Amino acid sequence: MAAEDVTRTLSLRQARESGTCFSSMLRGMQPATWLRPRRAGGAVLLVLGAMVASPAPASPAAPTQVPDRFAIPATDDGLPGAGPLRRYPWFQDLWRERRSEWAQRVDQDRNAVVFLGDSITQGWGGGLGAAFPGVKVANRGISGDTTRGVLLRLQEDVLALDPAAVVLLIGTNDLEEGAAPEVVAGNLRLIVAGLERHDPRMPIVLCQVFPSSATKNRPADLVKATNALYRAAVKNDPRVTYLETWPLFAGPDGDALAAEFPDLLHPNEAGYAKWAAALRPVLATLGFSETGPDPFRPEEGFESLFNGRDLTGWGYRPTSEEDKASALRWQASDPDAAAWPFVTEPVAFDGLTVTPDGRFAAVNGRLVVTTPPEYRKIQQLWTTREFPRDFVLKLEFRATPNADSGIYLRGPQLQCRDYRIAGPYQRLERYKPQDWNEIVVTVRDGVARCTCNGELLEADFKLPGSGPIGLEGDRGQMEYRRIRIQALSR
């Protein structure tokens, strides 16, 4: 073998050992001489090399490889967060494809409500806009994504849109990949922090991880542990609305129901309809939908207690000694007991559209008891009037999943909740979850008969002789509207 051939052979061997691309080496040779036969000792050898009489010109410098900004990095080195970042070939292709398409839509999707997540969000597809008529939405779900993946693409896929709000559902794939709930929640904290740094006023709706199944490597105990850590991560953050979507879908064993999740992971049409219904009241309170006034007018003989525009006629009353003692006992015995601020002086909110603490608000005909940042917080809003005469009280309410509220009738409380999940009237056949339901209370001689959509709640509810009407806030969001009263003659 000629010296030049030996040199070239060694160069190729060195390239192999150092990881240099063989095609780059070959591009520096004359194509006609890559493989030329050479006879040695009667045998024919294929020698990679150039003829001595015509040496190959110097190889040009290899072009600089431009990184694909929509590709998943080859390693985790230097990436934010912790835990799994998927690199399956199908996922890398999907990641690149969807993100490349979105980059062409930045101006079109600017200031949208961004739905951010994994296959459950992606699966909404073109039905997302139809589920929220009148709301500008942008779908930023990628099938198979994890919390770390969302964190990695947050800037280009979400923040570049200057979103009006973000609806976030993420975490189930982390669990399938074996991530501990603490790791998943740590990434969630970073995602929320990134959103809030971009716009401290931007609302964030955090959905609980949906139930699945141990057969999908997403056992109920890990899903519940993750959701508990999510709740702790956003506790006391007024920009985040924590939406209880786990009990919305979970069966008695904590797993998804096949009727709504046929593969025990992805919702079907019925499942998506329930998720949309859970979100609509929150988006309405945030001002993205249901923005017109309520055209309702009370029936003849009824008087409105809420004018639909502001909180005139309503206020806070001093906390009773009985309630103070109850709060202190509860908080002393239960670390998860609700916050319960005491009111020392009466205050009226005439002319205000929202209480100074933000808990009660008049929003387009609805008296909204907003979701408390503390997760649970007991507060009571009362009419400034009292009602000693017999009466009929009518109102409508709409609850987010697992919401807990109440209606005070001269003092005693009638439970008003998302009855299907939170009880106590779980067997009502006509109750409409996350939709409007009517309460009718008829009071005669100190006894109230209470119904919901015509079904009996209480037949013999004892009341004092006089007192105000009140609304309680505890957990989740509750809305009331069309609150009206008719005095009865004896």
The CA–CA distances, whole Å, from 322 to 240, 317, 327, 329, 411 equal: 33, 14, 9, 11, 12
Cβ neighbors of 333 (< 8 A, separation 6 or more) are none
Closest CA to 208 of 194, 219, 221, 224: 224
φ/ψ bin of 261: left (φ > 0), alpha (ψ from -120 to 50), beta (otherwise): beta
pLDDT digits (tens, 9 = 90+) for 358-371: 999 999 999 999 99
Q: What φ, ψ does residue 422 adopt, rounded to 5°? A: -90, -10
pLDDT digits (tens, 9 = 90+) for 295-354: 999 999 999 999 999 999 999 999 999 999 999 999 999 999 999 999 999 999 999 999
Class in CATH terms, 89-285: alpha beta
| pLDDT computed for residue 89 by the predictor | 96
Provide the percentage of residues in the chain whose pLDDT is more than 90: 85
Q: Where are the beta strands (DSSP E) in 410-477?
A: 413-417, 437-444, 447-452, 455-462, 469-475
Angle 204-277-208 from CA coordinates, rounded to 5°: 45
- C-alpha 485/C-alpha 393 separation (Å) is 5
Q: Does domain 303-487 have CATH number 3.40.640.10?
A: no
Peptide bond into 412 cis (omega under 30): no
Residue type, 109: D
pLDDT digits (tens, 9 = 90+) for 4-40: 443 333 333 333 333 333 333 333 333 333 333 333 3
Output the DSSP codes for 73-93.
PSS-TT-SS-S-----HHHHH
| pLDDT computed for residue 68 by the predictor | 83
Which pair of structure tokens corresponds to residue 99? 């993100």
**pTM of the model as a whole:** 0.86
**Which part of the chain has CATH 3.40.50.1110?**
89-285
**Which part of the chain has CATH 2.60.120.560?**
303-487
